[in-house]
Amino acid sequence: MKKSAKVQPIESLTFEQAFAELEESVRTLEKGELPLEESLALFERGQQLAAYCGKMLDSAELKIEQVEEA
């Protein structure tokens, strides 16, 4: 997450956008080049992105199950 980039609210992201941001966050954190405070903020955002993606996948799975039952 670059300082110059405007951070979108997670709820406004598509699954693909959220997952891509999560992947980028992991790559950035793995480099270990950020100051501690920025690393913590990026980690927290990553946790929120992961939860959001999980929620979206659960919702998609439920829809598939409902369609299969119909």
The pLDDT tens digits for 17-64 are: 999 999 999 999 999 999 999 999 999 999 999 999 999 999 999 999
Domain ranges within the chain, ordered by starting residue: 13-69
Q: Could you tell me the maximum CA-CA distance found in the chain, to the nearest angstrom?
A: 53
CATH number of the structural domain 13-69:
1.10.287
Q: Is 2 a residue whose pLDDT tops 90?
A: no
- Do the beta carbons of residue 9 and residue 36 sit within 8 Å? no
Q: What are phi and psi of 38, to 5 degrees?
A: -70, -40
**What pLDDT is stored for residue 1 in this prediction?**
47
Q: Is 70 a residue whose pLDDT tops 90?
A: no
Q: How far apart are CA 18 and CA 64, in angstroms?
A: 21
pTM: 0.85
- Do the beta carbons of residue 11 and residue 21 sit within 8 Å? no
